[in-house]
């Protein structure tokens, strides 16, 4: 994990060195001795103690220190000052940022006057921190892939880009209500609020910034706010698609123009192995290749990034001398030998794309050892996420990649239209744009029901367009209270679209939660119904919520599959790409195949016009067959995991019900597999959290600090 952490307070008595002020050699701004009679176990006494993040690199010191923690590369940490005579007005940018130092200084001058949007307009994925005197501003991203967390501490506010360090700092207990909401309504920010799995640790919403002024804090948005009821004027379709192309090309170029990296230590190669090439042997040793690479799954998102990265002039994919003169972009395709059915066309498209002479194609083949649930041991992530059950499978693929590796995550959530956008079109009286998407749903329906699909979808969209925000959330809360989660039904394309035509809906794991847990989440929804929403347009609101959930899951994915010396890059989640995609007209986004059409135009404008047949076909991974095979193979371990689960101790599930569901899923019965993955992932995360021995903080006079010091709370407050 890589994160940054800092704090701001009124007393400014925090220290950045492990010495006491009573020590004559202590640096200026050190800590004072704890006053007599102070209880060392009192959290408020921490203001008088030295406290340092473990393995931290100090970016600037007192009175408002900032650290970078983890294996940051030298080019990923940049600091600039506005004027050498004013060292307390400075900017730190952590991550991959395509701006030069002059652009950073201009943005620092603008941010000093309160204009924060300039800090988010560069290509790349990064976190920006501005210090202007005693005012600290921490800017999050639009999607939520680089979140910012904060917590009150010792008369001020501590902030970080990870929740666990702050939870360790205040010794936070688990927020069982947040975990329940994460399982019951994962796509509903109204249920999750600004909370985290830790009590007292908060998250700023995507598109917002945290401003600290000597202990006080403010959360403000930096994006322009449009009308809540009337749609903004649509951008012309051709110009909007060109904007997406420019943003994607700039995002890819920002990664390619950054310094190239190789693994820190190359393990010894034992020599030739029958049937294994050099790349296969290196991947088996768990080390990425030097340079830049990309996924090539056969889908439109990964193919677009691979072809753009390989085609930019003067920026070859790999380091010169590693794979021959000039180098080629390393493209990685995963071939699941255990469940090959249904992926033949996708693999054939990947082979056709890999015929490009600018690509060096590597196929990673694996069988039962790479199924979902095959290896449930892994690192502790900052938060729970469904990717924990397939981390070993994904890590095997990524280990064959490069030190900087492109993935197509986020393309569907950024470019596709959420079904609720049909209601937005009705609100704008643009009914004719519903014809093609509704006809496509009718063609995908089962035989015999296609004639009723257009009327059913239109009625559902019309009902959502006429349902106020408050009424929609209260209806969702009533469904949870009544236990109407619909978790046992398998949803086809039509049923899934109809279920998505709502302000909020239960998640796939909601059917296994206890009545008390569902009632607590319903209380959260009712409380949120009384607060004004960010948007009164249901399609726009639900699309942003789904993107935020996917970005949070992608962040957990990055931590769960982390390969040493490797960086994963998801350009579709960059600020500029998200902004450009939001400018796409709704009438274009709702059309069938809109994402493939936009990406095809992006490639054509970049000089790539020859694409294999079937390119852009909708694919859904992971496949149900592989998931059921993995469940069947790992069933004894999963049943043992849920013999005395921590989720049951917290009152969220009943162990026997979940064990029955696991057995039924392994036997092939219609069970929501996504919901089981969320349950298993959260149980694994809780076990890893409670079994950890370390902490994120150290200090010569500080006590050992850990999150969840007393274990999972079992006593639940009575609901009123």
The tokens describing 690, both together, are 């409670």
DSSP state of 312: S
CA angle 87, 3, 86 (to 5 degrees): 5
With 70 as the cut, is the pLDDT of residue 23 above it? Answer: no
Candidates 126, 147, 140; CA nearest to 221 is: 140
pLDDT band per the 50, 70, 90 thresholds, residue 314:
low
Residue 548, Cβ density class (10 Å: 0-12 exposed, 13-18 middle, ≥19 buried): buried
3-state secondary structure of 712: coil
With 80 as the cut, is the pLDDT of residue 279 above it? Answer: no
Beta carbons within 10 angstroms of residue 334's beta carbon: 22
Q: Dihedral (C-alpha) 158, 161, 167, 173: value to the nearest 10 degrees?
A: 120
Task: List, for residues 530-552, the tens digit of each pLDDT value.
Answer: 888 877 889 999 999 999 999 99
| 16 within 8 A of 52, measured Cβ to Cβ | yes
- Which stretches within 150-236 are classed as H helix? 163-170, 176-184, 189-192
With 50 as the cut, is the pLDDT of residue 41 above it? Answer: no
Q: Which of 66-75, 246-255, 284-293 has the lowest mean pLDDT?
A: 284-293
The tokens describing 532, both together, are 């004004």
d(CA 75, CA 260): 10
DSSP states of 578-619: HHHHHTS-HHHHTSTTHHHHHHHHHHHHTT-----TTTT---
DSSP state of 323: S
Task: List, for residues 138-174, the tens digit of each pLDDT value.
Answer: 999 999 999 999 999 888 999 999 999 999 999 999 9
Higher pLDDT, 37 or 378: 378
Which residues 6+ apart lie within 8 Å of 242 measured at CB? Answer: 605
d(CA 221, CA 534): 11
pLDDT band per the 50, 70, 90 thresholds, residue 705:
confident
Whole-structure pTM value:
0.90
Average pLDDT, the chain: 85
Higher pLDDT, 268 or 308: 308
d(CA 485, CA 494): 18
With 60 as the cut, is the pLDDT of residue 17 above it? Answer: no
């Amino acid at each position: 994990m890589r994160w940054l952490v800092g704090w701001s307070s009124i007393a400014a008595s925090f220290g950045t060195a492990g010495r006491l002020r009573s020590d004559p050699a202590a640096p200026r701004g050190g800590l004072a001795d704890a006053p007599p009679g102070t209880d060392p176990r009192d959290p408020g006494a921490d203001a008088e103690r030295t406290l340092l993040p473990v393995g931290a690199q100090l970016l600037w010191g007192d009175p408002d220190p900032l650290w970078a923690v983890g294996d940051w590369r030298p080019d990923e940490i940049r600091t600039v000052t506005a004027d050498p005579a004013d060292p307390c007005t400075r900017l730190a940018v952590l991550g991959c940022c395509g701006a030069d130092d002059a652009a950073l200084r201009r943005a620092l001058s603008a941010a000093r006057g309160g204009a924060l949007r300039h800090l988010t307009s560069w290509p790349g994925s990064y976190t920006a921190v501005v210090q202007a005197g005693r005012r600290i501003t921490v800017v999050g991203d639009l999607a939520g892939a680089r979140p910012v967390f904060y917590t009150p501490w010792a008369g001020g506010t501590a902030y970080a880009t990870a929740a666990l360090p702050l939870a360790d700092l205040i010794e936070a207990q688990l927020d069982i209500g947040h975990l329940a909401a994460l399982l019951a309504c994962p796509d509903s920010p109204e249920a999750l609020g600004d909370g985290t799995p830790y009590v007292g640790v908060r998250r700023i919403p995507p598109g917002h910034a945290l401003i600290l002024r000597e202990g006080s804090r403010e959360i403000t948005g930096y994006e322009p706010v449009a009308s809540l009821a009337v749609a903004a004027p649509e951008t012309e379709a051709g110009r909007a698609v060109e904007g997406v192309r420019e943003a994607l090309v700039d995002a890819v170029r920002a990664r390619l123009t950054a310094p190239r990296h190789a693994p820190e230590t190359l393990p010894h190669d034992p020599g030739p192995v029958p049937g294994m090439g050099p790349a296969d042997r290196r991947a088996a040793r768990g080390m990425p290749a030097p340079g830049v690479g990309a996924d090539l799954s056969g889908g439109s998102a990964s193919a677009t990034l691979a072809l753009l990265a390989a085609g930019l002039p003067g920026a070859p994919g790999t380091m010169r001398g590693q794979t021959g003169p000039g180098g080629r972009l390393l493209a990685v395709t995963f071939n699941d030998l255990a469940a090959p059915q249904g992926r033949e066309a996708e693999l054939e498209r990947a082979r056709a794309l890999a015929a490009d002479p600018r690509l060096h194609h590597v196929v990673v083949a694996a069988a039962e050892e790479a199924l979902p649930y095959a290896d449930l041991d892994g690192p502790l992530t900052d938060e729970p996420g469904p990717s924990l059950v397939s981390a070993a499978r994904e890590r095997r693929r990524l280990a064959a990649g490069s030190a900087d590796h492109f993935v197509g995550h986020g393309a569907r959530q950024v470019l596709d239209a959420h079904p609720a956008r049909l209601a937005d079109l009705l609100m704008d009286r643009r009914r004719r744009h519903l014809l093609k998407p509704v006809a496509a749903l009718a063609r995908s329906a089962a035989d015999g029901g296609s004639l009723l699909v257009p009327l059913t979808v239109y009625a559902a969209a019309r009902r959502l367009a006429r349902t106020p925000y408050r009424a929609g959330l209260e209806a969702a809360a009533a469904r949870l209270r009544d236990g109407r989660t619909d978790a046992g039904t398998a949803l086809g394309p039509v049923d899934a679209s109809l279920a998505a035509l709502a302000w909020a809906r239960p998640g796939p794991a909601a059917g296994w939660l206890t009545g008390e847990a569902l009632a607590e989440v319903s209380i959260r929804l009712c409380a949120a119904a009384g607060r004004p929403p960010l948007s009164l347009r249901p399609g726009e609101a639900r699309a942003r919520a789904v993107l935020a959930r996917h970005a949070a899951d992608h962040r957990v994915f990055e931590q769960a599959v982390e390969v040493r010396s490797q960086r994963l890059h998801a350009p579709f989640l960059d600020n500029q790409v998200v902004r450009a995609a939001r400018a796409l007209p709704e009438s274009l986004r709702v059309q069938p195949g809109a994402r493939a059409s936009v990406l095809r135009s992006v490639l054509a404008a970049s000089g790539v016009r020859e694409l294999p047949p079937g390119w852009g076909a909708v694919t859904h991974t992971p496949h149900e067959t592989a998931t059921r095979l993995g469940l069947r193979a790992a069933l004894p371990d999963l049943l043992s995991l849920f013999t005395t689960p921590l989720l049951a101790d917290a009152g969220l599930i009943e162990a026997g019900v979940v064990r029955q569901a696991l057995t039924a899923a392994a036997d092939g019965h219609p069970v929501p597999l996504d919901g089981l993955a969320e349950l298993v992932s959260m149980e694994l995360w809780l076990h890893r959290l409670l079994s950890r021995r370390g902490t994120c903080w150290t200090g010569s006079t500080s006590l050992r600090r850990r999150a969840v010091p007393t274990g999972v709370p079992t006593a639940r407050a009575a609901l009123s």
